[in-house]
Amino acid sequence: MGGSVMGKLVAIFVLTGMLGAVANGSVIIMPGASSAKFQIPKPLHPAAKRISQDQGYQMGFYIHEVRTGPNKTVWNVAYSENTLTSPSSFGLIQMIDSPITGVPELDSLSGGRVQGTFAYADLHQTAVIVNLNIRFTVTEGGIHEGDSLHLLGRISLSGQWRDEMLSVVGGTGTFSGARGDAFSSYYSFDNSTLHRVSTLVMYVLVG
């Protein structure tokens, strides 16, 4: 794409459902994902409307957080002096290195990794400040392999899982200078393995 992506939307279709079309948009398929269009989450409608006339892509995939067993992908790395007594685990820092896939099964081919930190930063309710880098390792056609996106935001973990908005604040390769909106949503949780699957759908402007 080179300079032609200036001011254009960048996205990837990989989730389950029906997404609205992006005008003139290219589609990048992650391993195992359907080429079908998917539904745009309601909180992303304003972003979709703003860029509806631009050429580009939408992104979406499944993130797998495994918190037990030999294949753990989330690890505790630091605590504050009151983490163990805090009702919200305040001060706990976790590192994540989890696979992203085009389908919800963990044993499917990974299209990349989500790497970064979860910082428990709320004294009153369980919530994390997320600082994540998404690096694509396998995409259909290989166009975005090695490219990455950077996300920042807050996710509440209190009570029932909530859908949350995150900010796309940068990227590398094709996504250099990226900015946009991301929507994180609960998909499933296995109590026996502590394997949580969430979905992430994004609109990203580049340039």
pLDDT digits (tens, 9 = 90+) for 100-145: 988 888 888 788 999 999 999 999 999 999 999 999 987 666 778 8
Percent of the chain with pLDDT over 90: 35
pLDDT at 32 over 80: no
- Residue 29: what pLDDT? 45
Q: What's the predicted TM-score (pTM) here?
A: 0.77
The domains of the chain, with CATH numbers, are: 2-206 (2.40.480)
Mean pLDDT for the chain? Answer: 76
Give the Cα separation of 59 and 206 in Å (integer).
13
Give the Cα separation of 112 and 33 in Å (integer).
13
